[in-house]
Amino acid sequence: MAAPPSAESIALLERFVAALKARGVVTEEEIATQIARTDRAGPEIGARMVARAWTDPAYRRLLVEDGTAAAEAMGVSMAGAPPLGVLADTDRVHHLVVCTLCSCYPRQVLGYPPHWFKSSAYRARAVRDPRGVLAEWGTALPEGVEVRVVDSTADYRWMVLPLRPAGTEGWDEARLAAIVTRDALVGVALPRAA
């Protein structure tokens, strides 16, 4: 999907990193640590947090009140990361996350953002025509549910806590986590009992 980086942009990045190192802003090791941390992260972390919230009311309260603490409770290092906000869907409100200004994304718990999340088309349309975007994803909301678009513009990173779907009664956390997809964690899709 994304074109490989051009020689020009790689050279620009190298000059930028050299300037940051020369000024003592970052070290090579800090950059490597951060890349390794992001490489290890993926949406299965967010999925485990959601599954635990579905089965553990105390964890659900923590997740909604303090996403950063809830992530750390799952063993995720949030040191130096922006605060994590969690948007709990209800039977009246469905959340959809976008960053219209750039591509802010809760990388510590979801990993790298997908290509489409960074695209101009998604960023423009999610705020202007959210129901059209959801329809194209094949996501149908029950009648009477409000769509609440969350434009991630500043210091928080946002993740959706979707509703637990019907038909999952008695499932354990691992089985529940398996139906919480990356797309459900930003609100373009809904978890389904497969």
Could you list the residues that contact other proteins (CB under 8 A)?
83, 85, 100-101, 127-131, 146-156
CB 168 within 8 A of CB 193: yes
Distance of closest approach, residue 101 Cβ to other proteins, in angstroms = 6
Residue among 119 and 168 whose Cβ is closer to other proteins: 119
**Closest Cα partner for 161 from 34, 65, 74?**
65
Nearer to other proteins, 160 or 179 (CB): 160
The structure tokens listed for 153 are 């513009």
Q: Which is nearer to other proteins, 47 or 97 (CB)?
A: 97
Reduced to 3 states, what is the DSSP secondary structure of residue 76?
A: coil
Closest among 61, 13, 38 to 161, alpha carbons compared: 61
DSSP string covering 106-137: -HHHH-SPPHHHHSHHHHHHHHH-HHHHHHHT
Q: Please provide the distance, in angstroms rounded to a whole number, between the alpha carbons at the two ends of the chain.
A: 28
Is there a contact between 186 and 157 (Cβ–Cβ < 8 Å)? no
99 in catalytic set: yes
The minimum distance between CB 33 and other proteins, in angstroms, equals 22
Q: Please identify which of the residues 6, 9, 99, 120 carries the catalytic annotation.
A: 99
The single residue of 103, 119, 120, 152 carrying the catalytic annotation is 103
Smallest gap, in angstroms, from Cβ of residue 89 to other proteins? Answer: 13
Q: Which is nearer to other proteins, 124 or 174 (CB)?
A: 124
Q: Which of 77, 102, 119, 120 is catalytic?
A: 102
Residue in 39, 47, 38, 45 with CA at minimum distance from that of residue 181: 47
Closest to other proteins by CB, 47 vs 87, is: 87
CB of residue 106 vs other proteins: minimum separation in angstroms?
A: 14
Taking the complex as a whole, how short is the minimal distance between the CB of residue 88 and other proteins, in angstroms? 13
Which one from 6, 9, 77, 104 is the annotated catalytic residue?
104
Q: Is the CB of residue 47 less than 8 Å from the CB of residue 111?
A: no
Q: Which residues carry out catalysis? A: 99, 102-104
